[in-house]
Structure 1
């Protein structure tokens, strides 16, 4: 099996499309909103939370979220896109939720981080199982039958 086929290969159940649709749609939406509402969700938010070079990093993160969200929706390069989104979520949790934990405690942080943790775990799930049979990864890897995932 070639390296590319090993990245694309999937034995996931067909129902993985539900996780793909959730993760992909949320990241696509969040990425778009960084451009539609730059003061609240893009550069302005990055300035507020102290991210360095916010004029560069906010659009960069927006593009990553749009691109990776779209790839996950298509089931194309799902594992690669998932890695980038895992990094995105780890940085988001570290920069926005750890301060809440330190200032207001666990329960406040747990409430505010629920979507972040859901997206992180959804991305980890997709990294592990791949796109499932209803994605371009399965087609490119040659998985076409019902027993192929």
Structure 2
């Protein structure tokens, strides 16, 4: 089971996607705490999510923890799953109303980062951490024993 979780290919290019996804989520998670009124619980109130005082820090904590795991490539596939779920919820809640209010092209323009994080998370769930990841190191060490 452990081998399936950490399994990854030998692609060196995967680090580019890991750096993009991990850095954006880490930054966004930190900002949910630094600017809670605007980007954390306050934002969750504005968009109508239930229990914003709980979910603001909850989501921010997952973004920080999973962002760090993705950056170092540790349990990459598992860490990408909550990030994917966060993006599905974010897109459904915020971009649906934007589409209804301003139309298709406005929604696409305002969701470009969301799409990048959504697709990047899927990529990492499929491929794993890649050549330069802790996962790859663990796979090699596990095979040696």
Scaled by the length of structure 2, the TM-score of the pair is 0.95
Equivalent residues of 1:27, 1:69 under 8 A apart: yes
Tell me, yes or no, if structure 1 residue 10 matches structure 2 residue 8.
Answer: yes
Tell me, yes or no, if structure 1 residue 118 matches structure 2 residue 116.
Answer: yes
Structure 2 partner of 1:96: 94
**47, 62, 65: which one pairs with 2:63?**
65
Equivalent residues of 1:133, 1:143 under 8 A apart: no
**10, 14, 22: which one pairs with 2:20?**
22
Are residues 101 and 143 of structure 1, via their aligned partners in 2, closer, same or farther at CA, if it must alter by over 3 Å?
Answer: farther
Structure 2 partner of 1:109: 107
Which secondary structure does the structure 1 equivalent of 2:131 belong to?
Answer: coil
Structure 1 partner of 2:34: 36
User: Partners of 1:28 and 1:131 in 2: how far apart?
Assistant: 17
User: Partners of 1:6 and 1:57 in 2: how far apart?
Assistant: 31
CA-atom RMSD in angstroms: 1.2
Between 1:133-142 and 1:19-28, the stretch displaced more is 133-142
Q: CA deviation at 1:134?
A: 0.6
User: Partners of 2:20 and 2:38 in 1: how far apart?
Assistant: 23
Q: CA deviation at 1:139?
A: 1.0
For structure 1, list consecutive stretches of 5 or more residues without a partner in the other structure. Answer: 145-149
Equivalent residues of 1:32, 1:62 under 8 A apart: yes
Which secondary structure does the structure 2 equivalent of 1:76 belong to?
Answer: coil
Q: How many residues align?
A: 142
Q: CA deviation at 1:15?
A: 1.0
For structure 2, list consecutive stretches of 5 or more residues without a partner in the other structure. Answer: none
